[in-house]
Chains A and B, each alone.
Chain A
Amino acid sequence: MYVAVKGGETAIEHSLELLADRRRGARDVPELSTRQIHEQLALAVDRVMTEGSCYDRELAALAIKQARGDLVEAIFLLRAYRTTLPRFGDSLPLDTRRMAAERRISSTFKDVPGGQVLGPTFDYSHRLLDFALMANGEHPAAPTAPVDAAPDLPRVGDILEREGMLEPPPSEGSPHRDITRTPLTLPASRPVRLQNLARGDEGFLLALAYSTQRGYGNNHPFVGEIRFGAVPVSFVPEELGFAIEIAEIDVTECDMVNQFAGSHDVPPQFTRGYGLAFGHAERKAMAMALVDRALRAQELSETATSPAQDEEFVLAHSDSVEASGFVQHLKLPHYVDFQSELVVVRLLRAEVEARRRQAAFDRAAE
């Protein structure tokens, strides 16, 4: 006779062993080092750091290795580690004007102070498989220009802002809430929304951003500026009382300029959407900026009718770790609930059948 399967514990252990084995793959292929991952799969590392909310290339590389290249799983691993870390305090806001930009482009002006700098980009690559890479051919180092001595790289937005053509960035208001420590409450402030979007799944944000371009909440965007490079991080330790530089991190920033018709009281002025991601992640930063702007619909007295403008819809479903967990929890046993459904469906079917039989009987009797 069948009895409920015992030995779940052993089965789990074997499953874990098998997983570790599959992760390693064929033993005659050298094992991947985390250093190889963060040097040669750098953009995967960037994505895991961004959505994992933890700037640590080494740990992100480890997560990617452990997750067998499944980035959403790697993000989950990094998040579960991050959540156990103590918090010392908040850094000062990053000043991206001080960025040593490796790439910087604007699509709103032909030329801008500081120049258009292409840097490393897929944009103008022809997407032809490079079979030379398969043969592991060494590539010579790229020539580099001397370092630009200019201390500051002015932002394109600043120039428009001086004219009053572009709304100024929000002033530093009340201290921000950390959404990894306090639950999301709605309606959410813009800093809270931006935190949520920064951690949000790139695919989800990309699709939402795309939907705004196809008419579901269009906000007429232009890339004011995208820049990527290293910025210093400053921190004020309580015992010192002044700021010290504690790190330098790579970020991608997107300042999107959007049309805005103005109103009775406000003269027409361009508005902004903002995106920021760790490492080099332009697709993410741009998608984030478009969705950020879409979510400002209410603030700018626009009618919010599209999914990308719906704060609750966007913020509640952007997190890949939450979404992945809940979708996949359907793999867990549900046989108790299903049993309840079976009982009731059988009952309802029996009642319908009984009514049908009664009706047939009544007809025959007539």
Chain B
Amino acid sequence: MPDSQHDGSAYNYAYLDEQTKRMIRRAILKAVAVPGYQVPFGGREMPLPYGWGTGGIQVTAAIIGRDDTLKVIDQGADDTTNAVSIRRFFARVAEVATTTRTAEATVIQTRHRVPETPLKDGQILVFQVPIPEPLRMLEPRETETRTLHALSEYGVMQVSLYESIARHGRIAKTYNYPVLVNGRYMMSPSPIPKFDNPKLDRNPALQLYGAGREKRIYAVPPYTPVKSLDFDDHPFEIERWSECCALCGSRESFLDEMIVDDAGKRLFVCSDTDYCRERRGEPVQ
């Protein structure tokens, strides 16, 4: 085996070979055609561990081109270690321009957040998904859940939400809050806080969801209705804070809580670092 095959330059553009990209693109097209439906695909081993964004990375690798601008966030921030690692990966294997600015990006790969800045036509939001099946914690068997989806038999989730109300007086589910896409398929929005769920509804950007370990891809095409499950007497609601962001003063964004001293003094700042920077009018670092 020649040595050249062992170094980074011997890999194909964006790491995956072209046949694999074609296979993934076919899965994506099917996913777009059937919003919210989980399309099985021949997920590959990636050079990053399963559970660390391999699904999102494969989707991004299949759609990215040299004239794209990539943004990668984890927990809303561009500078969290795994976001840095994935951004470096694509800068290395796809020679792609990267940015931290939401407005500038053509492809945004995310884990656990949807950016606060509204997305536009033509942008693609790629979600990293750990467990694509919204019913998995209620029914561990794939053979069963596929049947439930086929029959639109989602009573079991409604019952689980009802049980939460019976026990706590409200729906205590806070993230990975189940949604119904285009009135047909129940979908896991990935572990984003339910705060972000309303942003999925009729979003002008294309949403692609990649689950590497579970080998599933699903999608929400632009402007598709996405409804968070609820009851008439217990409508869906999102998290609220009594505080505002300590840096930019925002009262509309998702706030992270930080413990700043040994006495447990707390401080709240925007989880979306780019949004916060933009509001403060600071230049990109």
Taking beta carbons and an 8 Å cutoff, which residues of A are in contact with B?
A: 1-9, 11-12, 76, 79-80, 82-84, 86, 180-187, 312, 316, 321-322, 324-329, 332-337, 339-344, 347-348, 351
Give the residue of A11, A182, A347 whose beta carbon is less than 8 angstroms from that of B42: A182
Docked-complex contact A8 and B84, CB < 8 angstroms: yes
Which residues of B have CB within 8 Å of A334? 75, 112, 191
- B236 contacts the other chain (Cβ, under 8 Å)? no
Which residues of A have CB within 8 Å of B80? 8, 333
- B76 contacts the other chain (Cβ, under 8 Å)? yes
Nearest Cβ on chain A to B90's Cβ, whole angstroms: 14
Across chains A and B, which 3 residue pairs bring their CB atoms closest together, nearest first? A325-B50, A329-B51, A325-B49
Contact with A along B46-70 (1 / 0, CB 8 A): 1101111010000000000000000
Docked-complex contact A79 and B45, CB < 8 angstroms: yes
Docked-complex contact A337 and B51, CB < 8 angstroms: no
Nearest Cβ on chain A to B77's Cβ, whole angstroms: 6
Give the residue of B17, B239, B241, B254 whose beta carbon is less than 8 angstroms from that of A344: B239
Which residues of B have CB within 8 Å of A84? 11-12, 15, 17
Give the residue of B46, B81, B170, B256 whose beta carbon is less than 8 angstroms from that of A339: B256
Given A186-B142, A336-B175: A329 and B49 within 8 A (CB)? yes
Nearest Cβ on chain B to A254's Cβ, whole angstroms: 27
Which residues of B have CB within 8 Å of A337? 112, 174-176, 191, 193
Which residues of B have CB within 8 Å of A6? 79, 285
Which size class do B's interface residues fall under?
Answer: 35 or more
Docked-complex contact B213 and A325, CB < 8 angstroms: yes
Given A183-B42, A325-B50, A329-B52: A336 and B112 within 8 A (CB)? yes
Which residues of B have CB within 8 Å of A180? 42, 44-45
**Residue on A nearest B79 in the bound complex, by CB:** A8
Docked-complex contact B260 and A2, CB < 8 angstroms: yes
Docked-complex contact A339 and B257, CB < 8 angstroms: yes
- CB proximity to A under 8 Å, residues B57-109: 74-77, 79-85, 88
A322 to B48, CA, bound (A): 11
**Residue on A nearest B257 in the bound complex, by CB:** A339
Docked-complex contact A339 and B172, CB < 8 angstroms: no
Which of B155-163, B200-208, B221-229, B266-274 binds A? B266-274
**Residue on B nearest A332 in the bound complex, by CB:** B82
Which residues of B have CB within 8 Å of A4? 77, 79, 256, 269, 273
Given A83-B45, A336-B193: A12 and B168 within 8 A (CB)? no
Nearest Cβ on chain A to B273's Cβ, whole angstroms: 7
- B283 contacts the other chain (Cβ, under 8 Å)? no
Nearest Cβ on chain B to A204's Cβ, whole angstroms: 15
Give the residue of B175, B269, B271 whose beta carbon is less than 8 angstroms from that of A3: B269
- B33 contacts the other chain (Cβ, under 8 Å)? no
Nearest Cβ on chain B to A49's Cβ, whole angstroms: 15
Which residues of A have CB within 8 Å of B215? 183-184
Docked-complex contact A335 and B44, CB < 8 angstroms: no
Which residues of A have CB within 8 Å of B85? 12
How many pairs, one residue from A and one from B, have CB atoms within 8 Å of each other in the complex? 152
Which residues of B have CB within 8 Å of A86? 17
Nearest Cβ on chain B to A238's Cβ, whole angstroms: 18
Chain B CB within 10 A, most for which of A4, A7, A336: A336
Docked-complex contact B175 and A340, CB < 8 angstroms: yes
- B150 contacts the other chain (Cβ, under 8 Å)? no
Which residues of B have CB within 8 Å of A1? 246, 260, 267
A328 to B43, CA, bound (A): 19
Which residues of A have CB within 8 Å of B29? none
Give the residue of A9, A324, A336 whose beta carbon is less than 8 angstroms from that of B49: A324
Nearest Cβ on chain A to B178's Cβ, whole angstroms: 15
Nearest Cβ on chain A to B218's Cβ, whole angstroms: 13
Chain A CB within 10 A, most for which of B169, B174, B258, B269: B174
A79 to B47, CA, bound (A): 9
Which residues of B have CB within 8 Å of A183? 40-43, 215-216
Q: Write 22 A-B pairs (CB below 8 A) sorted by A numbering.
A: A4-B269, A4-B273, A5-B79, A8-B79, A79-B45, A80-B47, A84-B11, A180-B42, A322-B213, A324-B50, A325-B49, A329-B49, A332-B52, A336-B112, A337-B191, A340-B193, A340-B194, A341-B174, A343-B239, A343-B240, A344-B172, A344-B239
Nearest Cβ on chain A to B5's Cβ, whole angstroms: 9
Docked-complex contact A185 and B193, CB < 8 angstroms: no
Docked-complex contact A187 and B256, CB < 8 angstroms: no
Which residues of A have CB within 8 Å of B81? 8, 11-12, 333
Given A84-B17, A184-B215, A341-B174: A335 and B49 within 8 A (CB)? no
Given A326-B213, A343-B241: A336 and B76 within 8 A (CB)? yes
Docked-complex contact B77 and A187, CB < 8 angstroms: no
Chain B CB within 10 A, most for which of A4, A11, A343: A4
Chain A CB within 10 A, most for which of B51, B193, B239: B51
Given A332-B52, A337-B174: A326 and B193 within 8 A (CB)? no
Given contacts A183-B42, A328-B49, 15 further A-B contacts (CB under 8 A): A1-B260, A8-B80, A9-B84, A80-B45, A84-B11, A86-B17, A182-B42, A183-B43, A184-B215, A325-B50, A334-B191, A337-B174, A339-B254, A340-B175, A348-B168
